[in-house]
Amino acid sequence: MEAGSLPPEDSRPLFGAGLNNIWNTCFLNAVLQCLTHTVPLVEKLRASDHYSTCSAGPGEFCALCALRHHIDNCLYLSGYVFTPKHFASNLSKILSEFELGSQEDAHEFLQCLLIRVHDCCIGLVSGNQLLSVGDDTDSLIKQVFGGRAISRLRCSDCGHVSDTFESLLDLSLGIDGMASLTEALESYTKVEMLEPSECDGCHAKVPKEKQLKLDQAPQVALFHLKRFKMDGAGVCKINNLVEFPLDLDLQPFLSSPQDEEQLNYDLYAVVVHHGNMDRGHYFSFIRSSQSSWHLMDDADVARCSAMQVLNMPAYMLFYIKQGSSPWISSFIRDWRDKNFGFGESSRRSSSMDSPETREDQSPGTDDTPESVIYEVEGDSSSSAPLRPCNQGGISYGAEKKPPLDEVMKQSAHH
């Protein structure tokens, strides 16, 4: 695709591109949309020198380079749709069990991709084998998503305490019977009594109290809601609506809360699974500014309200620490101004606003109308003609994909 075939950068929307579904790749698209709109990750990927020093040879797959290239495409092709062929054709390089055409789990794909990128950062890539996120190794993935949990055992007799720490990139929460994210977090951090065992302090065989809490909170808090469980007949899906807030306070769930540390988070991305274990479809909701949300369902992109998002049966939730990063709309404004220079009015609007400072925005003011959404066949290097997205996208496979109006009606009925 030639650069001249695109409309001017300053006339296009301030969020990423839509993604074609190649063959049951909705799980891939939903996750990539959330990562593309994670500004701290985008900033660190673009600042990393790995891209220019990568040792991957021709035909070899580097997850870090692939993710950065994908995000660059999404930013450049905002308002358009393209096909993430490089990721789709290399699924088995992310996890050997993944294969194109299979309906994979979005959470498993996200975990594997983050670990792959982490391993690329620290030079621990070994064939198709996934290595672990070590406690003492740092990377841009751990800087963005990395947190730490503490498991505390307390002797009910002598009070002896022993702590075990675990590095986290996300937190999986049980939701069976839970009405809200807060209730699920309270259940995760509640004290439970264990069967009697020998105490390291008094050496008596006594019951112990066990409690899990967050020891270190991440910049981006990623929650996986466990919607699939085993029952007598196999695996079934938990379909109940779990309420989640636009802003979340993690202080109550920290092992040692500190008044001076701000732990308020803004919701900015949601992944939803529609359907059941045998046949389903993933899509995402993306927040580009304080007041602007979009449904990003493969090649289909539509504005929506925050209330519609909050009424969805979420599968994964992405929260970012307030004040730690600009919204993606502000990031794109700044990027365009630095790279294309649209004059004084553009420069005035391109400041890297934090979520807290954009409350004066009215819904939709930072985005152009839906008519600017186009489809690009192939990747960003093709020269395929552009056409409006509503003239039909490319979609293969047998996913149980609900129409856009059904998705919106679903949220209105909750």
Catalytic residue list = 26, 281
Tokens of 98: 């993944």
Mapped onto helix, strand or coil, the DSSP state of residue 97 is coil
**Residue at token pair 């839970």:** 178
Query: Distance of CA 343 to CAs 212, 278, 303, 335, Å?
Result: 53, 53, 28, 14
C-beta separation of 48 from 41 below 8 A:
no
C-alpha–C-alpha distance, residues 167 and 251, integer Å: 18
Task: Give every CB contact of residue 185 below 8 A, 6+ residues apart in sequence.
Answer: 173, 252, 253
Characterize the bridge pairing of strands 280-287 and 293-297. Answer: antiparallel
SS3 state of residue 77: coil
Report the b/e string of 132-154 with b at 16+ CB within 10 A. Answer: ebeeeeebbbbebbbbbbbebbb
Best CA proximity match to 209, nearest among 246, 275, 256, 162 = 162
Residue whose pair of structure tokens reads 């996208």 in the numeric block = 393
